[in-house]
Structure 1
Amino acid sequence: MIDYILQPWPWYVTGPLIALVMFTLIYFGKTFGMSSNLRTFCALGGAGKKVSFFNINWRDYKWNLIVVLGAVIGGFIAQFYLSEPTNIDLNPKTIESLNALGFNNVGKSLLPPELYSLDSIFTIKNLAILIIGGFLVGFGTRYAGGCTSGHAITGISSLQLPSLIAVIGFFIGGLVMIHLLFPLIFG
């Protein structure tokens, strides 16, 4: 039984679970998206005094804080109690391309230490990547009217055309990043 839990769950289990969560949220008039949850978190911290976007009554959205807490706790449990360290089965061409860009041990971890170890985070290049990337994600989320989870899960499940357009844009942006910009940054 424990071996089954440690394996990635199949689509026919996770898909209905996501649908059940979405049905429950829609039934209670709520929406799902991490950016709205983080907006509530920022409002709680007093960001509304500086930026009007965060000037909301966070108590009306306190359920969002539970979602953020659940995401953090769930990620911790999944990483440290429900995951076995395994190699990631990547296409040999992908491994070859990443090795050429300076990434060693490709497929040995989800987060490459060349980008995410404490030693590499505090280099000028990686710190700039994190700051610029964070700004672009924040700007894009605000400009698109929501984040990838909000548009892809909530928006598309409630048949919103702007969410479909946003998700198509997210995928195009991801393809441009990985095929054009990533080699320029790390090449």
Structure 2
Amino acid sequence: MIDWITMDSWSPYVVGAGIGVLSWIAFLLSDRPLGASTAFAKSAGMIESAINRENADQMSYYQKIKPKIDWQWMIVFGMIIGSLLSSFLSGRLAVLIVPPIFAEAFGADALFRFAIALIGGILIGLGARWADGCTSGHGISGTLQLSLVSWIAVVCFFVSGIAVAALIFGLGIK
């Protein structure tokens, strides 16, 4: 087997180039940018349709973004399968309810970890819909198209990510 498949981590340059090529292929074959947050909105629409189709059909958002399994939805599915396969092949597959870095900073309470992850996921989802795109949509596809809005969004992602990490984990000053 090829050694690079079983590595713990890959070169960010190789991965970045791969994502760039994937973006070109997505534009070439579908005339659509890469992105993940719309797939989650479509999943919510499919769940809503299963529960109450009439209500889902009347929602203006689901009239614009049709709740269906499409190539963007399959990309999210592929990311999940790919990350599981990668961690398995590298020998690093493990189920961690509370990761060590979180336990060190906040304790090992699994319910607290779940609550924080749920709140964070909801906020990320709301932010992605509010910004009309997620980090991958703006950071990869938007910047590839030289969209000013995406460049501003990416700068905001990095600045806010660094600020929140500094608040949560400290500035590394002991």
TM-score bracket relative to the smaller structure? 0.7 to 0.9
In the other structure, the counterpart of 1:71 is: 79
Deviates more, 1:3-12 or 1:132-141: 3-12
What is residue 3 of structure 2 aligned with on the other side?
3
1:58 corresponds in structure 2 to 67
- Could you list the per-position Cα deviations for residues 21-45 of structure 1 after superposition, in whole angstroms to 9, with x for gaps in the alignment? 1111112211211101212222222
Residues 62-111 of structure 1 show CA distances to partners (whole Å, capped at 9, x for unaligned) of 12221122111111101112x144xxxxxxxxxxxxxxxxxxxxxxx9x7
Q: Which residue of 2 aligns with 1:95?
A: none
Measured in 2, the distance between the counterparts of 1:114 and 1:18 equals: 28
TM-score, structure 2 as length reference:
0.73
* Alpha carbons of structure 1 residues 13 and 138: separation in structure 2 relative to 1, 3 Å: closer
Unaligned runs of 5+ in 2: none
By how many angstroms is 1:2 displaced?
A: 3.5
Higher relative contact order (CA 8 A, sep 6+): 2
1:22-171 to structure 2, matched below 5 A, reads 22-27=23-28, 28-46=30-48, 49=55, 52-55=60-63, 56-59=65-68, 62-81=70-89, 83-85=90-92, 112-113=99-100, 115=102, 120-122=109-111, 125-171=112-158
- Provide closer, same or farther for how the CA distance between residues 132 and 14 of structure 1 changes in structure 2, counting only shifts above 3 A: closer
Q: RMSD across aligned C-alpha pairs, in angstroms?
A: 2.7
* CA deviation string 1:128-147 (max 9, x = no partner): 42233223212211222211
Alpha-carbon shift at residue 11 of structure 1 (Å): 4.3
Deviates more, 1:62-71 or 1:125-134: 125-134
Paired with 2:71 and 2:130, the residues of 1 have a C-alpha distance of 24
- For residues 132 and 182 of structure 1, the distance between their equivalents in structure 2, rounded to whole angstroms, comes to 18
Shift of 1:164: 0.6
Paired with 2:159 and 2:17, the residues of 1 have a C-alpha distance of 27
SS for the counterpart of 1:58 is coil
Give the 3-state SS of the residue equivalent to 1:45 in structure 2: helix
Secondary structure of 1:31's aligned partner: coil
Q: Work out whether residues 115 and 121 of structure 1, in 8 Å CA contact, stay in contact via their aligned partners in 2.
A: no
| 1:114–1:120 Cα contact (<8 Å) kept | no
Distance 1:68 1:127, change over 3 A: closer
Q: Percent identity?
A: 33
